[in-house]
Structure 1
Amino acid sequence: MRQAVKRDRHSEIVERRARKSATYRKTFARTLHQIDLALLVREMREDAGLTQAELAKKVGTTQSVIARLEDAEYTGHSLTMLERIATACGVALKLHAEKKPNFDREVALV
């Protein structure tokens, strides 16, 4: 119950700031995308039952590159590398773009 209250309060603060500042909206949206991409890479790898080293070998890179791609603070994801990872994990990668009412533009990988 306490966690839900904290999340609700946090959501209120984020929404209030987003309404007031286009810069905040863009930065917040970009941060969410970084987190989403990092989680996507990790989930694809784990669902395929692969270690970072095994995935790296399949896509022709190093374990440290895979670790970097799974880091939510990393900003250098490329569509080419995401496609290679998806293929190695037996996943179809689809790109989806949509406009959101509270953000200028949001692009999400589905």
Structure 2
Amino acid sequence: MDQLKIWILLCAFIILLVLFNKKQKKSAQIRDAYEELEGLASRTRRGRSTFNDIKRWERSLQRLEKYPKELNKLDYDIKLRQAFMVYLERHYPEDERLEQLQETAGYQKDILWSMKKDR
């Protein structure tokens, strides 16, 4: 009976380590995408963005879209979608995503209630 308890505890410990390891990897991905997008949004607002930034925008947005809660939180903190919209208007005015971003930027999502409200 004691051996069974030891094996159960060992298995539980291993499972906890695996879950903790996955959480750490996810956090690093989110953190990297956050830093990249904050820098890009800042550059766009200061008028220092370039045509070549589109690859960085798309890569970071794609990474963060896997975590919609984090994407919404970042959008609320730094108005990410609005910054990306300004970037596209400035450098790629013919981009098909622009119309959808303009519509989305017209509404702000309330984090507490998760309801959209007019600005």
Is the shorter-chain TM-score for this pair beyond 0.5, marking a shared fold?
A: no
What's the TM-score once normalised by structure 1's chain length? 0.34
Higher-helix-fraction structure: 2
Larger relative contact order (CA 8 Å, sep ≥ 6):
1
TM-score between both structures, scaled by the size of structure 2:
0.32
State the structure with more CA Rg.
2
